[in-house]
Amino acid sequence: MICERGNKLNPKFESLKINGRCSLQGEIKISGAKNSALVLLAASLLTKDKVYLANVPDISDIRKMKNILKSIGVKIDDNDREQMIINAENLYFGNIPHNLVNELRASFFCIGPLLSKLGHASLALPGGCNIGKRSIEEHIKGLQELGATIEEKDGFVNAKINNNRKRLKGKHIRLGCPSVGATETLVMAAVLAEGKTIISNAAREPEIQDLCEMLNKMGAKIRQAGTSKIYIEGVNYLNGCSHEVIPDRIEAGTFLIASAATLSCITISPVIPAHLNSLLQKLKESGSEIIIKNNSITIKTKKVRGVNIETAPFPGFPTDLQAPFTALMLKATGKSIIKETIFENRMNHIDLLKKMGASIRSENNIAIVSGVKKLSGRKLKGSDLRSTAAIIIAALTADNPSLVEGLEHLDRGYENFECKLKKLGADIKRDLTVNISNNSCKDDFLINDVQDIYAA
Ligand code: EPZ
C-alpha cells in the first residue's frame, strides 16, 4: 500500500532528503493523468446531470481546480476516493477570482464550457509561468471564429456570444500551432454549437482523446479525435456520464527514467504503452530492455548510452519528459543533445544539475550533455513541476545525500511521488525544511551540515 501523506503540510516548507547511490526494484501503481483530469473537470460544466469521474489523482492542481469550480456553484462530492461526483446543475455567473486562476492556468479551460452553457464567461487572464509566456491567442481566435466576442480588460478575459444568440456557430478553424489547451477549449466550445465544426492542425495528445471519449459518452458527436483534424457536429445538450481518467503517461515516463538512471529493474502499471512510444524508443536506444505486457511495462537497465532527443507535439518526444530525461543522460557514456522546441524557457534544471557536477553546455534551448562518472549531492530547489522531478532523479544517482526543495511544484503533478519511490527501495524522506543559519550555509553548501541538524 502506497504510504499516503497524512497531514498535508505546506510543501513550500518541506524538503526531500535523498540518499544517493540508489537502486530501485518492485512495482508501483501509476495514477490518473493530471492533464486529462483537469480538462475533464472543466468539461463536466457542459451538462446539468452528474458526472462520475474515477481515477482522479490527488494532487494540488486538482484541488485548485475543484475550488475554482466550486466558486461558480459546482457541487463536488469527493468522499469516495475511487470516484468524484461533479454536479454543475446550478452554475452561477461570476468572475472566477484572479487568485484562483493565477494559481492554476488550466482554469482557463472553463471558458469554452461556460460560454457554451451560459452564453458568456469572464475569467482572469492566465499569466505566463516559469517555463514560458503560455500564450492563449489560439484559444481567443478560435472562440471568435465560433461567434464569440472576446474582450481583454483589467486582467480579465470577458467572452460573450455575438448578437445575443443562444449558441455558438460551427466553423472550420485552422489552429496556428497544435496547441493542446486551444484544441481542448475549442472542442468544448463546439460540442454545443449550432452546426459542424472542424479543427485543423489540432493537437493529438492522448489527453485530448480522453476528453473527446468522455464528451461522446455525454452525447457529443466528435470524430477523429487524436488526429490533426477533428470533426464535431454540435448537439443541443449533453447528459451526465461515468468516466475513468487515463493513466498519467508523464508520471509513468518519469518512473521509467528514474529506474533507468539508477540501473534498476521496475514494473509500472496501469499504463497505455502506445502513449509512451517515443520515450520507450529512446530508452531502448540508450540501452534499456523494455518488456510490455498488456497494461504494464517492465524496464531493466544495465548501462546507459547517450542519445539525442528533440521535444515535439504528440506523438513526438513529450516536452514534459525533457527535464527528467536530461537527468538520465548525466552519467550516460558519451554525449547527448537535448533540444526543447515547445516552450521557450524549459531548461531551468540545467544550472541545478551542473551544481551537482553535471557536464552540460546549453544555449538557445539546446543542451549538450557529456556523461560524468560521479554526481555530488547538493541542497537544490526546483523551479517548476518537471525540473523538480529531474533533480530528484539526479539525486537518486548521486554519490552522497541531497536535500531537494520546491515540493510545491512537485506536488502539483505527482501523487505521493516520494512514497512511490520509497516503495521501490529509495532512501528518501520528506521533512520540514530546517532553516540553516547563514554562517553554516554556503552557496555550494554540503549536505553534512543538514545531516548534523537532522541527526540532532
Ligand atoms: C499542456 O499545456 C499541458 N498542460 C502541459 O503540461 C504540456 O507541457 C503542454 O500541453 C504541451 O504538451 C495541461 O494540459 C494542463 P500548449 P498547454 O497550448 O495547453 C504555444 C505539465 O508539466 N502556444 O500546447 O498550455 C505555447 O506558448 C504541463 O504537466 C501559442 O503560441 O500547452 C507553448 O510554447 C506543462 N499560442 C506551446 O504552444 C497559443 O495560443 C505549447 O502550448 C497556445 C499555445
Cα-only R_g, the chain = 22
Burial of 364 (C-beta count, 10 Å sphere; 0-12/13-18/19+): exposed
Chain centre to alpha carbon of residue 10? 20
CATH of domain 34-244: 3.65.10.10
Ligand 1 atom with minimal separation from the 140 CA? 40
Residue range 13-41, pLDDT digits in tens: 999 999 999 999 999 999 999 999 999 99
Residue range 89-130, pLDDT digits in tens: 998 876 677 777 778 888 889 999 999 988 999 888 887 678
The torsion angle over the Cα atoms of residues 407, 410, 412 and 413, rounded to 10 degrees, is -160
Active-site option among 3, 22, 110, 129: 129
Q: For residue 454, what pLDDT is reported?
A: 41
Give the SS3 label for residue 181: helix
Catalytic residue check, 129: yes
Fold of 11-31+247-454: UDP-n-acetylglucosamine1-carboxyvinyl-transferase; Chain (3.65.10)
Q: For residue 447, what pLDDT is reported?
A: 45
Q: What pTM was estimated for this model as a whole? A: 0.94
Q: For residue 2, what pLDDT is reported?
A: 47
- Across-strand partners of 291? 298
Which segments of the chain have a pLDDT < 50?
A: 1-2, 6, 436-456
Scored b (16 or more CB within 10 A) or e, 281-311 reads ebbeebbbebeeeeeebbbebeebebbebeb
Are 299 and 289 a contacting pair, CB within 8 Å? Answer: yes
- Across-strand partners of 431? 15
Are 184 and 211 a contacting pair, CB within 8 Å? Answer: yes
Q: Which residues line ligand 1 (CB under 6 A)?
A: 34-35, 38, 106, 132-139, 177, 179-182, 203, 319-320, 342-343, 385-386, 413
Residue 288 has which C-alpha cell? 534499456
**How many angstroms does the Cα of residue 90 sit away from the middle of ligand 1?**
31
* Amino acid in position 182: A
Stretch(es) of the chain classified as CATH 3.65.10.10: 11-31+247-454, 34-244
User: For residue 350, how many other CB atoms are within 10 A of its CB?
Assistant: 19
Assess whether the previous peptide bond of 270 is cis (omega < 30° from 0).
Answer: yes
